[in-house]
Every structure is written in structure tokens, then in C-alpha cells.
Amino acid sequence: MSQFPADSVGLVTPQRQTFSEPLQLACGRSLANYELVYETYGQLNASRSNAVLICHALSGHHHAAGYHSPDDRKPGWWDVCIGPGKAIDTNRFFVVSLNNLGGCHGSTGPSSINPDTGKAWGAHFPMIVVEDWVNSQARLADHLGIRQWAAVVGGSLGGMQALQWAIAHPDRLRHCVAIATASKLSAQNIAFNEVARQAILSDPDFRDGDYAAHGLVPKHGLGLARMVGHITYLSDDAMGQKFGRELRSDELKYDIKGVEFQVESYLRYQGQEFSQRFDANTYLLMTKALDYYDPARAHGGDLARTLEPVQARCLVMSFSTDWRFPPSRSRELANALIAARKDVSYLEIEADQGHDAFLLPIPRYIQALSSYMNRIEVDA
Amino acid sequence: MSQFPADSVGLVTPQRQTFSEPLQLACGRSLANYELVYETYGQLNASRSNAVLICHALSGHHHAAGYHSPDDRKPGWWDVCIGPGKAIDTNRFFVVSLNNLGGCHGSTGPSSINPDTGKAWGAHFPMIVVEDWVNSQARLADHLGIRQWAAVVGGSLGGMQALQWAIAHPDRLRHCVAIATASKLSAQNIAFNEVARQAILSDPDFRDGDYAAHGLVPKHGLGLARMVGHITYLSDDAMGQKFGRELRSDELKYDIKGVEFQVESYLRYQGQEFSQRFDANTYLLMTKALDYYDPARAHGGDLARTLEPVQARCLVMSFSTDWRFPPSRSRELANALIAARKDVSYLEIEADQGHDAFLLPIPRYIQALSSYMNRIEVDA
């Protein structure tokens, strides 16, 4: 497609796969059958050894690279990293990106029809945790004939999935790339998630999760949740540089209910826009999945012991101004991998952009990821 | 009162003063008359030179020290610092503490009756900013016969008032003590305030600010606002030490809408409790006052030039883990005071407790404040 940049994977078409073997979930319930929506970029080689799995973060989905139509103005969410000649080079790798179970972009989730009731699951959709995602992703790998991933890669909540792959399916990946993540949330992380959830739960349009049946969307609650999240994705400095104390108009309005500063209207817009394109029940589920992840819990909090099964080589990356998943948390993970005598590289990238940095074209970051990925050997 | 600790000011009774000369406000409107509720501790000396003004923060009020009844279990909000022999020694100082205009603890504010309509002001109460507070406090000083404060002292939003006193009424205070504050909020600070305000404004029970007329309280919105605020008052470490990832019950519940971690139920409780004792319109007003304060704005952002009128000796204090008003912001203020050739002491206290530290009995902090206050000369 000549209208797309030369280093783009170009036009892509999402695919859909139904799984009809029941999936046992960590919460004790199971899903009798489910669908996963995914995209692939590049070609699977003859030995099926060049596949890379991309795991998405809180509000992500399967559309990681390329365009869905010639008119698309925006490419997939990680297009800066995925494409021919890019850090995750589709000339070498067969890249798989899916929408996780419980999502709201096509895979089975709270907006899907519950076959037992004929109505949307809503808040009755079972709780899905990182371990469940990895198990469902393993089935997708089976379906695609991929015995072993060349790498599993993810940032933030996606990094937790990459880590869980290395712990739970050690022989099914050769490399684990965990970016801007942690092996568990801190109390402050959980607290911010709880504010976001309370905003949704207390929106009268939430209707106990059955808003869809009432033709409603808890847009105020979801918007607020996004506003809180958004602040925590940016660094104090990044917000200062982007907005400072710039006013919306020349004169102060002194209106107790009004918007005075640019940063306020930016946040309001972010919240409104998000509430129109994301599902509230999925937001609850994804934030809970973040809270729950803590693989060392089963080992009395001993992370090094938890990591003993890991066989993959690991790359752990963090960003200097990320205060949601600060470098100290990544170092904690890297140190535990070292203590468990694993093969790990740790890199802290100087970047102003806070947690958001993992999605941005920061040269040193892209270069480092690129170097690592290029050293992964794959058959032609 | 033998039932109170020996270093307590004991039983105190709030006083009330009506001011009937109109107060011109920064927003362009004026208040024809207003009441201020205040408390005093200690004795004003013959030369009326030993008075100390305490300025309160966002959710504070006039009851800074002592007890309102023999049954009171909790003393005033800054009892750790105010009392006989304490850092702000009521054996030496005559301490004045008021509820600011626009407050919800007795001074004229949004819950008061608008004489023009016979109904509560609600969101129609005029916007009050730091400059207005200081002007109204100056009238209280006039009423009490205090020409010059020995010191004006405040933390957080209270510190902004102390600073504004030094700028706007340079000859009316000998010392300015500004703790855990800044000369203006950062974009991130404003963003958190905006989330809090949006939570209140989008609560259907807010009724455009006229909830009282409908017999309603926007308790969900106000509770959410407090939850956000509360997270930002604590450090990540403090939350980690206090709660970690401690569960509420032994077993994970995997409930998408439920509470799983102690930190969640703590926050929910904080929000609920606050929403029962604080007024939503006052919360909007106080957060806006924080946002607006920026005395250097009138001087093209040149803080040193803004501080030129200052005559008071200044003590600026910050706390190492305060990320709402980090030490860097206090240093900014201290450096500008130095650049303006003012007499300033700056002290950064190592403390784990985040912004909340300014209210807590941290030995080095109390000792430093005590030393400074004890060096202030007052007539017997």
C-alpha cells in the first residue's frame, strides 16, 4: 500500500479464533468457550521458531501495528516498535498481538453475550487474571502451531504477562522482554486503581454492571477513572512541560465550577474521549488483574524462588521518570532474576515522559530494544 | 482541666466575629458582610506583639489546638505543635486560628445563607482566593488589636497564606513560616485537583451546587475527591509500610466489584467519613484557591521580584518524601527569597510520611520548628 510509510506493516485484518475446550480460571470458575481476536505481522518461518507475542497493557488491544483501512489516520498502538526494519522487525519475526480475554475489542469479555442467559455478561463475567491470560495465549499459540515463542514482549500490565509466561511455561519462550513493569503492584498503585473503580461503581449509570441492558454507559465514572490513570502515566515534569500553568483564556474566570487551566481541559477531554471507546466492566477487570498479579505470593513472597523455573533470557527495562512502575520496581525484578541465577539484562532509560515512555519513540529506548531483538537468532 | 494532658491548651471555645464593611474580592465581586469563626490560645501581651496566626490547609479549620468539651477524644488538628511548652508555645505566644472564608466550619461560606436570596449560597458563593483570605485575616487582626504578628505560620495551602502575608502586608508580620508548600501548584497538582472537582461536579446529587436545597449531599463525589487527595498526601513508602498488599480476608475473592486489599477499604472509609463532615462546595472552592495561587504571575513569573516587598524573616520547611509539595518546590521558594536578598532559613526534614508529615509529631521537625519559634523575641 503505497499510502503507508515504508516501515509500516501496512494494511492488516484482525482474525478471530473460537476455543471450545473449557478454560479453567484462577477464580475457580471456567469459560465453556471463548473467542480471541488477534493480528499477525510478518511471516512464520518453516521451523515456526520466529514468533513473537505482544502482550497489551490496561487499555490496549490486538491492533498493535499497521492500519485497518487506507483512510486510517492512526496506526496500531505500538507501531513505533513493530514493522519492517523496526525494533521488532517483521522482516525477521512473525508477530502475534491479541486482545486479551475480558477485553472490549472483540475477544470474549463483559460486553459479550453470556450463552446461559442470552444477555451481556456485564459484571457477571468471571474475573480474569494474568495467569488466565497467559493460559489462553498458550492455546492461541497451539492453534497457530507455535510451540515456542522467540520472545514474549510487553509493557506495564503486558510486562506482567511476559513475566508470567517465563514462570508458567518456561520451555515455551526463549526471551522475555518486560518493560516498565513490576512483579506486583505497590499499595499506592492499588489505591489509584481503587479510586478509578470507585468512580465507575458509584456512577448511577453503572447499574451494577448491567448498564448495557439499560442502554446506558457510565461515562462520568469511566472518564474520571481515565483522568486518574492518565495523571499517573505522565511524569510531573512531562505535565509541566506540556501544560505548565497555561490558561485557557487570557483572563482568569474565577468560576468555582469552570475550567481555568489547559491541563484541566486536556484531562476532561481525555476522560470523555476514553469513556466513548472503552467498556467500564473491562476497565474494572483489567485494573483488578493488575492488583492481583503477585506470583511470589504462592512462595511466601520470595520472588527469586518464584523465578526458579524461568529458562528464558530476560530483558528488563524501565524509565527514569516512571513513578507508576518506577525503576526501583524493575531493579527488584532484575535482582531477583540474578539471585535465581537467570540470564538477565537490565536497562534504565533516561526519559522525561513517565510511564507513557514505553509507548513512545524515544531513540535510546527503541535502539536498545532493537539491539536486543536483533540478537535473537531465528532460522531464515 | 485535669483530664487533659499538661501540655494541652485545654478546653477552648470558638469565637465569632461579624465584619460589616464590604470585602472586595479578587474575582471582582464583594461580600457585603461576613463572619469569621476563630479560636485563641495563650494571652496577648501588653504590647500586643506576641500574636501568631495559624493558617489552615485544604480541609482544616479554626480548631487547631485543645478540646471543645471534656469528652472530646481528639484535640485540634495541630495540637502536636500548639500548647504550653510546645513548638508554638502558648506560654509565650497568643495564638490565633480561624476558619477561612468559604469554609464549612462556621465562617461565612457556600453553606451560609445568601442574604439576597434567603437560601444557601451553594455554588453561587463568590470564588475566594489566597489573597482574599489574607485580607480577611488582616481585618480579624485589626479587630483583635494586632498591628503586627510575631509570626504567620501555615503548612500546604496554609503556607501559601503565610507567604502571601509576607508579600502583601510586609510590615504586619515579623516572621513567615511556610511549611510543605510552594509559590504555585504544578500542572500535576492542578490535574489531581481537577479530578477531585470532576468527581464532585459529576455526582448527580451535586445538583449544580444546590444539593442542600434538595436535602442531598454529593457524598460519592466528595468521597472520591478525598480518596484521590489522600493518596497524594501519603508517600508510596508510607502506604507500603502501612498496608503493603495485605488482604482483607485470607482468601482471594476474585470479585470484580469487591474489596480485596486493606488499602482499598481504608481509602473507601476515608472517603465516606470525609463526605459526612465536609461541604462539597467548600472543597471545590479550596482546591480552586490552591490552583489560582501564583503571586509571581503579576510579575511575569519572576518570583524573586515578587518577593521584593517581603520584610519578614522566613522559615521554609519541606519533607523528603512529600511528592505533592516536594522539597524542590520549597527550594525554589527559598532560592527566590535568597535572590531577593531576604532573610531565609531552609530546612528539609527526612520523613517517610509524605505531605502528611507537616501534621505529624516527627521529632526533628517539631524540634526545628520549636527552635525557630523560641528564638522569636517577644515582650513579657
CATH code, domain with B131: 3.40.50.1820
B166: enclosing H helix or E strand: helix B157-168
Query: Residue B193 domain-assigned?
Result: yes
Clarify whether residues A118 and A71 are in a common domain: yes
SS (H, E, C) chain A: CCCCCCCCCCECCCEEEEECCCEECCCCCEECCEEEEEEEECCCCCCCCCEEEEECCCCCCCCCCCECCCCCCCCCCCCCCEECCCCEECCCCEEEEECCCCCCCCCCCCCCEECCCCEECHHHCCCCCHHHHHHHHHHHHHHHCCCCECEEEEECHHHHHHHHHHHHCHHHECEEEEECCCCCCCHHHHHHHHHHHHHHHCCHHHHHHCCHHHCCCCHHHHHHHHHHHHHHHCCHHHHHHHCCCCECCCCCCCCCCCCCEHHHHHHHHHHHHHHCCCCHHHHHHHHHHHHHCCHHHHHCCCHHHHCCCCCCEEEEEEECCCCCCCHHHHHHHHHHHHHCCCCEEEEEECCCCHHHHHHCCCHHHHHHHHHHHHCCCCCC
Is A226 flagged in the annotation as binding?
yes
Q: What is the pLDDT of residues A209-262, one digit of tens each?
A: 999 999 999 999 999 999 999 999 999 999 999 999 999 888 899 998 889 999
Q: What is the pLDDT of residues A295-345, one digit of tens each?
A: 999 999 999 999 999 999 999 999 999 999 999 999 999 999 999 999 999
Average pLDDT of span A74-91:
98
Give the chain B residue whose CA is nearest to the CA of A271. Answer: B195
Clarify whether residues B106 and B148 are in a common domain: yes
Average pLDDT of span B286-296:
97
- pTM of the complete model beyond 0.80: yes
Clarify whether residues A318 and A283 are in a common domain: no
Integer angstrom CA distances of residue B126 from B22, B112, B158, B203 = 13, 12, 20, 21
Boundary (domain end) residue, out of B252, B287, B322: B287
Closest CA to B279 of B355, B197, B232, B222: B222
Mutate to test the interface with B, among A194, A210, A253 (most CBs of B within 10 A): A194
How far apart are the C-alpha atoms of A51 and A45, rounded to whole Å?
8
| Sequence letter at residue A225 | A
Query: Residue A309 domain-assigned?
Result: yes
What φ, ψ does residue A324 adopt, rounded to 5°?
Answer: -80, -45
Q: Which positions in chain A touch B128 (Cβ < 8 Å)?
A: none
A194 and B263 in contact by Cβ < 8 A?
yes
List the catalytic residue out of B56, B105, B175, B355. Answer: B355
Integer angstrom CA distances of residue B167 from A60, B164, B170, B295, B306 = 50, 5, 6, 9, 7
> 3-state class of B123 per DSSP?
helix
Q: What is the pLDDT of residues B179-200, one digit of tens each?
A: 999 999 999 999 999 999 999 9
Give the chain A residue whose CA is nearest to the CA of B246. Answer: A187
Boundary (domain end) residue, out of B261, B287, B313: B287
Q: What is the pLDDT of residues A42-51, one digit of tens each?
A: 999 999 999 9
Clarify whether residues A207 and A241 are in a common domain: yes
Clarify whether residues B218 and B142 are in a common domain: no
B188 and A234 in contact by Cβ < 8 A?
yes
List the catalytic residue out of A175, A322, A330, A352. Answer: A322
Clarify whether residues A149 and A202 are in a common domain: no
Can you give the pLDDT at residue B1?
Answer: 45
B289: enclosing H helix or E strand: helix B280-292
Judged by phi (left if over 0) then psi (alpha if -120 to 50, else beta), residue B13 lies in: beta
B209 and A260 in contact by Cβ < 8 A?
no
Q: Which positions in chain A touch B199 (Cβ < 8 Å)?
A: 199, 224
List the catalytic residue out of A156, A275, A318, A330. Answer: A156
Cell 517465563 belongs to residue: A166
Can you give the pLDDT at residue A2?
Answer: 58
A-B C-beta contacts closer than 8 Å: 173
Instruction: Say if residue B2's pLDDT is above 70.
Output: no
* Closest Cβ opposite residue B291 in set A199, A209, A261: A261
Boundary (domain end) residue, out of A251, A268, A287: A287
CATH code, domain with A199: 1.10.1740.110
CB B306 within 8 A of CB B167: yes
User: Would you give the DSSP letter of residue B340?
Assistant: T
Q: Which positions in chain B touch A208 (Cβ < 8 Å)?
A: 257
CB B69 within 8 A of CB B52: no
**Residues constituting chain B:** 380
Q: Which positions in chain A touch B240 (Cβ < 8 Å)?
A: 186-188
Instruction: Say if residue B81's pLDDT is above 60.
Output: yes
| Sequence letter at residue B16 | R
> 3-state class of B322 per DSSP?
coil
Query: Residue A91 domain-assigned?
Result: yes
A26 and B245 in contact by Cβ < 8 A?
no
> 3-state class of B320 per DSSP?
coil
Q: What is the pLDDT of residues B293-343, one digit of tens each?
A: 999 999 999 999 999 999 999 999 999 999 999 999 999 999 999 999 999
Quote the minimal CA–CA distance from A108 to chain B in Å.
16
Chain centroid to CA A170: 21
Can you give the pLDDT at residue B146?
Answer: 98
* Closest Cβ opposite residue A256 in set B123, B204, B254: B123
Closest CA to A274 of A214, A235, A225: A225
Q: Which positions in chain A touch B226 (Cβ < 8 Å)?
A: none
Q: What is the pLDDT of residues B243-286, one digit of tens each?
A: 999 998 888 999 988 899 999 999 999 999 999 999 999 999 99
Is B324 flagged in the annotation as binding?
no
* Cα-Cα-Cα-Cα dihedral sign, residues B363, B366, B368, B374: negative
Give the chain B residue whose CA is nearest to the CA of A206. Answer: B257
Cell 486518574 belongs to residue: A228
List the catalytic residue out of B79, B203, B322, B352. Answer: B322
List the catalytic residue out of A56, A62, A105, A355. Answer: A355
Clarify whether residues A107 and A21 are in a common domain: yes
Integer angstrom CA distances of residue B64 from B13, B60, B274 = 12, 8, 18
B53: enclosing H helix or E strand: strand B51-55
B254 and A26 in contact by Cβ < 8 A?
yes
Clarify whether residues A158 and A264 are in a common domain: no
Longest dimension (CA), chain B: 67
* Closest Cβ opposite residue B127 in set A224, A242, A255: A255
Clarify whether residues B212 and B119 are in a common domain: no
B156 is catalytic: yes
Can you give the pLDDT at residue A257?
Answer: 86
A355 is catalytic: yes
Instruction: Say if residue A66's pLDDT is above 60.
Output: yes
Q: Which three cell numbers stand for residue A214?
A: 439499560
Closest CA to B33 of B97, B131, B107: B107
Clarify whether residues B138 and B58 are in a common domain: yes
Task: Give the torsion through C-alpha atoms of B188, B191, B196, B202, to 10 deg.
Answer: -160
Mutate to test the interface with A, among B31, B235, B256 (most CBs of A within 10 A): B256
Closest CA to B353 of B214, B200, B234: B234
Query: Residue A5 domain-assigned?
Result: no
On average, the pLDDT of chain A sits at 96
Q: Which positions in chain A touch B202 (Cβ < 8 Å)?
A: 203, 220-221, 223-224
> In terms of C-beta density within 10 A (0-12 exposed, 13-18 middle, 19 or more buried), how is residue A7 classed?
middle
CB A266 within 8 A of CB A243: yes
Give the chain B residue whose CA is nearest to the CA of A125. Answer: B256
How far apart are the C-alpha atoms of B309 and B295, rounded to whole Å?
12
Quote the minimal CA–CA distance from A374 to chain B in Å.
37
Q: What is the pLDDT of residues A273-298, one digit of tens each?
A: 999 999 999 999 999 999 999 999 99
Give the chain A residue whose CA is nearest to the CA of B259. Answer: A194
* Closest Cβ opposite residue A240 in set B126, B186, B227: B186
> 3-state class of B114 per DSSP?
strand
Cell 535510546 belongs to residue: A364
Give the chain B residue whose CA is nearest to the CA of A261. Answer: B190
List the catalytic residue out of B136, B156, B183, B318. Answer: B156
Query: Residue B380 domain-assigned?
Result: no
* Closest Cβ opposite residue A188 in set B27, B127, B231: B231
Query: Residue A176 domain-assigned?
Result: yes
Q: Which positions in chain A touch B203 (Cβ < 8 Å)?
A: 202
DSSP class per residue in B222-236: HHHHHHHHHHHHS-H
Clarify whether residues A63 and A198 are in a common domain: no
Give the chain A residue whose CA is nearest to the CA of B243. Answer: A187
Quote the minimal CA–CA distance from B255 to chain A in Å.
7
Q: Which positions in chain B touch A267 (Cβ < 8 Å)?
A: 191, 194-195
Clarify whether residues A263 and A364 are in a common domain: no
Q: Whole domain around residue B268: which residue ranges?
A: 189-287
Q: What is the pLDDT of residues B27-72, one digit of tens each?
A: 999 999 999 999 999 999 999 999 999 999 999 999 999 999 999 9
How far apart are the C-alpha atoms of A107 and A37, rounded to whole Å?
5
Give how many domains chain A has, as a whole number: 2
Query: Residue A220 domain-assigned?
Result: yes
Closest CA to A42 of A2, A87, A91, A101: A91
How far apart are the C-alpha atoms of B312 and B173, rounded to whole Å?
6
Quote the minimal CA–CA distance from A10 to chain B in Å.
37
A322 is catalytic: yes
Quote the minimal CA–CA distance from A262 to chain B in Å.
9
Average pLDDT of span B202-227:
96
Query: Residue A208 domain-assigned?
Result: yes
